[in-house]
Structure 1
Amino acid sequence: MKKINTMAGMLLVAATAMFSASCENDNINPYDYVANNGNANQGSTNVIKTAVAEYPVGSLVWSNDTTLSESVEIPVGTSLYIEPGVTVTCKADVQVPVEVVVLGNLYCLGTAEKPVTFTSDCKKPEAWGGIICGYNSEEVVLNHVDIAYAGATPTESSASFQNKLFKTTIDGGVPAFHFCNVNGKFVIANSFFHDNYNDQTYFTGGNGVIAGNIFADSGNAADGGEAINVKAGCKLDVANNVIYNACTNAFKLSNAGNSEVVPLTDMTVYNNTIVDCGWRRSKNKKGGSVWVEKAARPVFVNNLCYDSRFGLKQPKQDGADMEHSRLTPNYYYASTATGVEQMAKGASLGIWFDTDIKSATAGQLNPLFKNFKQNAGMNINCEVDDPDKGAPLAFDKAWNFDLQQGSPALSGGVTDFARIFPNGIPFFGMKRVNFLDSANDQNYYFSAPLPQPRFGAWL
């Protein structure tokens, strides 16, 4: 494991990498005590300079593509900035799986044209661990980031295990991204998580925005996998995401925590699209599109669920806090008679609302995606990761899950609820960066989009 020496101020400088234009957020920063005439990013008088930007002295900056053959640990109080277009390749053929353990702060400064990429040399799931954050990690920004092939099982020598993060026993793989600081902040925006062996994301604390992402091909038939797995201690706005082929759940929402003092989670989850999820666990009736348990109390509305096993479900015991939740309206479409039956009123463990929109017969109320190819032999109870036996096809980036004109899902949503962070979340580590071209200045605020009176994500 490589523990970064902050005294050396590791700096990798690459050729010029230009940022796409970004508009300044109009919200007033409630934490900004310095009049700055509207210029959010003020830089520093003592800087580390690359072809792209100036960073505060003491920062770690990755400007070049890099290959990791051992884990990297970012110390408490230290910030790592990864510049646009950088690819981090994790070697798979190593004794201890590579992890990126963030005890400090991480800022992935990708753009639409030049995303930051975390991948493996073998391009297979379970090739490396993931990005695992510590209890003192204050800020993490994943903006335009591609994260794939994570989920390896740690060893007792792994950086995450040594720091007592995520797992205290070796009993399975880690998520592609894990955040646990109840007082910390994170954003996952405009990113692509795919082909990760276990959960794509797992949260046991933190204030966050998750918006505009694609989570594809999550988990494995043996161990399962959620796209977004939330426990106690979180405040989250989750909107405008597409979740495809999460083998257990698209969302697992819970107020289970790592101690009794962890505050209950509050979250708004709206205008997300869920497709072909939950095929793994038909025998024990768990899994599907959304699983709410342990007194979870989300606002969960305007979401579109397409050909996923079941709809909204909870355990027989210790389910959602129905009194303080808002779980309707949502849109549930089934192309098969089995799908209609499993989402019908009275289905085992299902949560039913007359205000939801649901297929009463196979194929009724097709939301009409602009471009999507369903497996012709799709079986939402297949339990095996084999398209020939009914599992979802591999994700195709050419697909477009926005809705065609005339779609019945374009109306019926609600907007009469408040986001957790209506003014966005400020990330001060972004504010301290002085981008050298003002046209490429990146905003230090991130907020979820306003809810739309339709169902599903818009692209």
Structure 2
Amino acid sequence: MKKILFKSGLVALTAISVISCKKGSENVEISKPLLIVGQSISDTILPKLDGSGNAIPLKGTMLAGKTYHIKADVTINQGDTLYIQPGVTVLIEGDGQSAKTSPTIYVNGSLVSDGSKTAQNWFTVMETSTVKKSNPTYKDDAANDPAFKGYWGGFQCGPNASLLLLRWSHVEYTGSTWGENAKDYGAKSGDAKFTIFMNSTGAQKGSLIVEDSWFYGSKDDGIRPNNIYMSIMRNTFSKMGGTGGEATNIKDGVYGDMAYNLTYGIATNGLKTSGDIGKPMVVNIYNNTVVNCGFRQTKATRNGSINTETNAGGFIYNNIIVNCKAGLRISYASEKGKPSDTLNTMYNNNLTAIGRGNAMGGAEQYMVFIEPNQFTQKQSYDLNGYVNGPVASNGTNAGTNTANDSLKYDPMFVNYDMAAMSLERNYRVNQIPAGADFHLKSNSPAIGAGVFATGTGKNAYPKKASAPSLTQYGFPMKVVAQGGTFGANMSAPNKDLGAFPTDNSGNQHTY
């Protein structure tokens, strides 16, 4: 037995190999070894209780092929690790009616869900006669769609949590309410829990690594961290936030990268970064595809695709935004936010396309390429229908959106009709259509329009010598551990825009 040293202690690594030979052949096939951290968890009804009826903290390894039932809150203690082999299903027995009847996974140590492309892991609610799951018929019905019921509490990380890593994992139906322990997590009793909350207040920042995973259905924000290092790569987010909320809402003290994610039908923004007064943060946002976002949030100043606010900086490149309430916003002001960190922000080579330039009816806002009177301007290699106006003394830009440029910047996805999906109320659909394909057709303007490591001219990597944070952290950052079971598998910026480049190196999901 080989021993490896991990952050949370000494753990055992057991390799289980399967060898098969064909008669008359010299070929030998060896399966990928399965890792065991600590003791195997054979009990499938969790949590186990001690003699006094108290829940026993969870640690060790959930085993491939098993289905585990979570019937009440489970906790991973500081210094302990819960490792989940590929091909595990975790059914949470929650109803969304109260904190006590809607279990939460509390991570004070480390949790690693190590799914694979061929053996994915699942964290979902157990369906019953009264707890119903969503289905494709719920396209725009936040009041009744079970996706927004908040059946369980997601992953709530304590101040000294070391690592939360989700790989090839499905996370569904989160957002149950907080109870008596709300203040320990910066919330109030009755607030909806975020799908993932992580806020390091200890001596070391924790790490959040989320890659190749699916997030479906939440009452509020999906990923909501503070004071950590992170890598969020190649994921799919849909039906996040009932009447408000983002797929990712990244807060002060966070450094890292968000890339190759598809966000579809999100209440407010697909991707948002926001620091605080005196508390900066820098996150690179590149090669994402953001579709049909912003229309369940009725407040006018919350934007609707990619949004940066108070003291937030980073490189923002190679993104595609389609049929959203508004394109990229580098904020000067909003209902909650104050100015972004424009010194430590660079952006260009982004495509924003809207189905039409007219009002969408009723109280709905226009779809716009860029919201005027913010810091955002159309950059030299952007593809959108915004015309820059005069720059005010405070740095804001009073430009105009060209209605006749509706449809002009269609990225030409393989199977998503931008024009058809803007008609009537199709732009509000939050269910990814079956068979949708966000790869690029051969004549797409997004092909070859991105910055990449060896690019020159319009494709050259951005640099800003006057920006200390951008210079210090780089593009991409790679601030979390790289490679292996406990590290990130990062994807660098691509010559094509969006999450699904033509070399198939980005997001691997099909719909």
Q: In which range does the TM-score fall when normalised by the shorter chain?
A: 0.7 to 0.9
1:391 and 1:113 map into 2 onto residues whose CA distance is: 32
Aligned: 1:131 with 2:155: yes
Match of 2:320? 304
Provide Cα deviations, 1:273-300, integer angstroms capped at 9, x if missing partner. Answer: 0001111334523221122111211211
Map of 2:456 onto structure 1: none
TM-score of the pair, normalised by structure 1: 0.76
CA displacement 1:231-290 (0-9 Å, x = unmatched): 111111111111111111112211127xx6x5x212211011000111133452322112
Find the residue that maps to 1:226 and give its secondary structure. Answer: coil
- Contact 1:127/1:149 (8 A) holds in 2: yes
Deviations along 1:88-124, one digit per CA (max 9) or x if unpaired, are 1112236512100001110101111111111112323
Residue matched to 1:174: 193
Out of 383, 394, 414, the residue aligned to residue 370 of structure 1 is 414
Pairing of 1:224-263 with structure 2 (within 5 A)? 224-256=244-276
Alpha-carbon offset, residue 423 of structure 1: 8.1
Mapping for residues 265-280 of structure 1, pairs under 5 Å = 265-280=281-296
Please tell me whether residue 281 in structure 1 is matched to residue 279 in structure 2. no
In the alignment, the residues of structure 1 paired with residue 254 and residue 491 of structure 2 have an alpha-carbon distance, to the nearest angstrom, of 19
Contact 2:327 2:370 in 1 (8 A): no
Task: Assess if the C-alpha contact under 8 Å between 1:179 and 1:203 holds in 2.
Answer: yes
Supply the distance in 2 between the matched residues of 1:232 and 1:112 (Cα, whole angstroms). 33
1:119-198 equivalences in 2 (<5 Å):
119-121=124-126, 122=131, 123=133, 124-125=146-147, 126-156=150-180, 161=182, 164-167=184-187, 169-181=188-200, 183-198=205-220
Q: 1:304 to 1:17 in 2, by over 3 A?
A: farther
Q: Corresponding residue for 1:9?
A: none
Contact kept in structure 2, 1:312 and 1:350, CA below 8 Å: no
1:186-228 per-residue CA deviation (whole Å, 9 max, x = no partner) reads 210000001122111111121111111111111112xx01011
TM-score normalised to structure 2 length: 0.68
Indicate which of 333, 356, 363 corresponds to 1:316. 333
Distance 1:339 1:365, change over 3 A: farther
Aligned partner (choices 372, 377, 398) of residue 347 of structure 1: 372
Deviations 1:26-63 (A, max 9, x none): xxxxxxxxxxxxxxx9989x964699xxxxxx952222
**Does structure 1 conserve the Cα–Cα contact (< 8 Å) formed by 2:295 and 2:304?**
yes
Q: Sequence identity, in percent?
A: 23
Residues 195-204 or 169-178, more deviating = 169-178
1:335 and 1:143 map into 2 onto residues whose CA distance is 34
Letter of the 1:290 partner, please give it.
Answer: I
Question: In structure 2, what is the Cα distance between the partners aligned to 1:327 and 1:306?
Answer: 18
SS at match of 2:174: coil
- In terms of mean alpha carbon deviation, does 391-400 or 224-233 score higher? 391-400
Structure 1 residue identity aligned to 2:349: P
User: Structure 2 regions of 5+ residues with no counterpart?
Assistant: 1-15, 19-32, 43-57, 134-145, 361-365, 386-401, 453-460, 463-473, 501-506
The 8 Å contact of residues 152 and 197 in structure 1, kept in 2 or not, is answered as: yes
Three-state SS of the structure 1 residue aligned to 2:446 is helix
| Structure 1 alignment gaps of length 5 or more | 1-15, 19-40, 52-57, 380-386, 428-441
The residue aligned with 2:384 is 358
Q: Which amino acid aligns with 2:415?
A: N
Match of 2:79 in 1: 77
Q: Is the 8 A contact 1:248 1:287 kept in 2?
A: yes
Q: Give secondary structure in 2 for the equivalent of 1:172.
A: coil
The 1:408/1:71 distance shift into structure 2, 3 A limit, reads: same
Is 1:414 matched up with 2:434?
A: no
Deviation of 1:69 (Å)? 1.8
Q: 85-94 vs 192-201, which deviates more?
A: 85-94
Aligned-partner Cα distance in 2 for 1:328–1:243: 20
Of 441, 445, 456, the match for 2:487: 445
- Higher RCO by CA contacts (8 Å cutoff, separation 6 or greater): 1
Tell me what 1:404 maps to: 441
Provide closer, same or farther for how the CA distance between residues 349 and 229 of structure 1 changes in structure 2, counting only shifts above 3 A: same
Question: What is the CA–CA distance in structure 2 between the aligned matches of 1:71 and 1:362, rounded to whole Å?
Answer: 49
Structure 1 residue matching 2:312: 3-state secondary structure: coil
Amino acid at match of 1:137: A
Counterpart in the other structure of 1:432: none
| Secondary structure at 1:291 match in 2 | strand
Distance 1:392 1:77, change over 3 A: same
Q: Is residue 203–residue 231 contact of structure 1 (8 Å, CA) maintained in 2?
A: yes
The 3-state SS of whatever aligns with 1:188 is strand
> Secondary structure of 2:232's match?
strand
Give the conservation status (yes or no) of the 8 Å contact 1:421–1:447.
no
Deviations 1:335-354 (A, max 9, x none): 11138965356735472224
Q: How many residues align?
A: 383
Change (3 A) 1:346 1:280: closer
Offset of 1:305 from its aligned partner?
0.5
Q: 1:17 to 1:399 in 2, by over 3 A?
A: farther
The reply to whether residue 205 of structure 1 matches residue 227 of structure 2 is: yes
Q: Residues 50 and 143 of structure 1: is their aligned pair in 2 closer, same or farther, counting only changes over 3 Å?
A: same
Is the aligned partner of 1:219 residue 2:241? yes
Whether the aligned pair in 2 keeps the contact of 1:290 and 1:312 (CA below 8 Å) is: yes
Q: CA deviation at 1:330?
A: 1.1
Structure 2 residue 499 is matched with structure 1 residue 457 = yes
Distance 1:170 1:280 in 2: 24
Q: How far apart in 1 are the matches of 2:426 and 2:38?
A: 57
For residues 216 and 17 of structure 1, what CA distance do their matches in structure 2 show?
Answer: 37
Pairwise CA RMSD of aligned residues? 3.1
Q: Distance in 2 between matches of 1:284 and 1:42?
A: 50
After TM superposition, give the deviation of residue 375 of structure 1 in Å.
8.9
Which secondary structure state, in structure 1, belongs to the residue aligned with residue 343 of structure 2? helix
Mapped to 2, the partners of 1:444 and 1:388 lie a distance apart of 43
Task: Report if the CA contact (8 A) 2:39-2:60 is conserved.
Answer: no
CA 1:209 to 1:305, structure 2 compared with 1: closer, same or farther past 3 Å? same
SS in 1 for 2:231: strand
The aligned amino acid for 2:229 is N
